């Protein structure tokens, strides 16, 4: 299905990506990482640097080229309505709400200035870690996607987190068996689950990696993670959750 005048959301995304660096995130990105699920819109993080006006410039240009499109401000709980905004308001609204919605296409596009859990200054790193994708967009990397979903309490995000976590754990398992301490450190600094830390304790050939994994697992236990507590007990039943003496 196409929007007015045959312009699709895909065309609009291509236009935006030709004007400013754009990273695809949200449900569409999760689908491209391999999870079959529904989504109702596109989410992109448009380069927010060096300021909101620069971020908004590509959107303003798009609105001028396709006047049937409408920029909207996120619905508030009180009204439940997305409020139409003018081109001159986009920069201010983006910087205040973190995003604006583009309506009038077959699929709405949510354009982010600052996604959940990220700062504007994180864009460069996110861009570097993303990979080339369709229509000039880049696909947000799995761990960065997880970060955006870390503190949301939406049912759909739980499924995404389960899927993405599983994929990252699979990649980590392949690397952790014989990686260096430095590599493991960098990996754990970005991503760690109790299961992956326990895997490294069991499987790593490097004593220092095993010790690092144990410290990570103990940190999780201290934070109250029940899986970490159980895994420490399983790894050394004698420790009764006090840690693995042999790896200290």
Partner 1 sequence: MLGILRGRLLTKLLKEEKTGTRISGIMKPYRPDVNEQKRLYSLRLMFERKRAGKPVSPIRIKSNSEPWIENPRTLEDVEYISDSIARRAEQWKANGA
The burial class, CB within 10 Å (0-12 / 13-18 / 19+), for 174 is exposed
Q: Is 225 in the site for partner 1 (CB under 8 A)?
A: yes
Burial state string for 210-223 with b = 16 or more CB within 10 A and e = fewer than 16? bbbbbebbbebbee
Would you count residue 147 as binding partner 1 (CB under 8 A)? yes
| 216-223 own/partner pairs: CB under 8 Å, 24+ apart | 216/188, 216/192, 218/243, 220/192, 220/194
Residue count of the chain, please give it.
248
Among 46, 102, 220, 235, binds partner 1 (CB under 8 A): 220
Residue 171 binding partner 1, by CB under 8 A: no
Min CB(1)–partner 1 separation in Å: 9
- With tokens 């660096």, the residue in question is 21
Q: Decide: is 166 part of the binding site for partner 1 (CB under 8 A).
A: no
The number of angstroms, rounded, from the C-alpha of 5 to the middle of its chain's C-alpha atoms is: 33
Regarding 13 and contact with partner 1 (CB under 8 A), the answer is yes
CA 29 to chain centre: 9
Per-residue binding letters, 26-65, with partner 1 (x by CB under 8 A): -xx--xx-x-xxxxx-x----x-xx---------------
Q: Which residues bind partner 1 (CB under 8 A)?
A: 9-10, 13, 27-28, 31-32, 34, 36-40, 42, 47, 49-50, 107, 117-119, 121-125, 128, 133-135, 137, 143-144, 146-147, 150-151, 158, 161, 165, 189-194, 220, 223-227, 230
């Amino acid at each position: 299905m196409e929007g007015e005048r045959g312009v699709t959301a895909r065309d609009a995304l291509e236009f935006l990506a030709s004007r400013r660096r754009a990273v695809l995130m949200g449900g569409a990105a999760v689908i491209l990482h391999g999870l079959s699920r529904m989504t109702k819109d596109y989410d992109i993080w448009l380069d927010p640097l060096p300021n909101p006006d620069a971020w908004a410039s590509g959107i303003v240009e798009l609105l001028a080229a396709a006047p049937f499109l409408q920029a909207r401000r996120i619905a508030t709980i009180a009204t439940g309505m997305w409020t139409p905004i003018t081109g001159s308001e986009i920069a201010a609204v983006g910087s205040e709400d973190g995003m604006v919605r583009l309506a009038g296409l077959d699929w709405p596009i949510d354009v982010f200035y600052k996604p959940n859990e990220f700062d504007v200054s994180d864009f460069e790193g996110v861009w570097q870690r993303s990979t080339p994708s369709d229509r000039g967009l880049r696909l947000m990397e799995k761990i960065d996607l997880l970060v955006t979903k870390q503190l949301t309490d939406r049912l759909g995000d739980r499924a995404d987190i389960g899927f993405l976590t599983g994929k990252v754990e699979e990649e980590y398992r392949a690397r952790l068996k014989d990686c260096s301490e430095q590599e493991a450190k960098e990996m754990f600094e970005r991503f760690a689950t109790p299961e992956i830390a326990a895997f490294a304790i069991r499987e790593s050939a490097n004593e220092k990696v095993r010790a690092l994994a144990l410290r990570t697992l103990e940190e999780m236990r201290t934070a109250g993670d029940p899986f970490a507590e159980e895994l420490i007990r399983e790894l050394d039943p004698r420790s009764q959750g006090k840690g693995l003496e042999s790896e200290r």
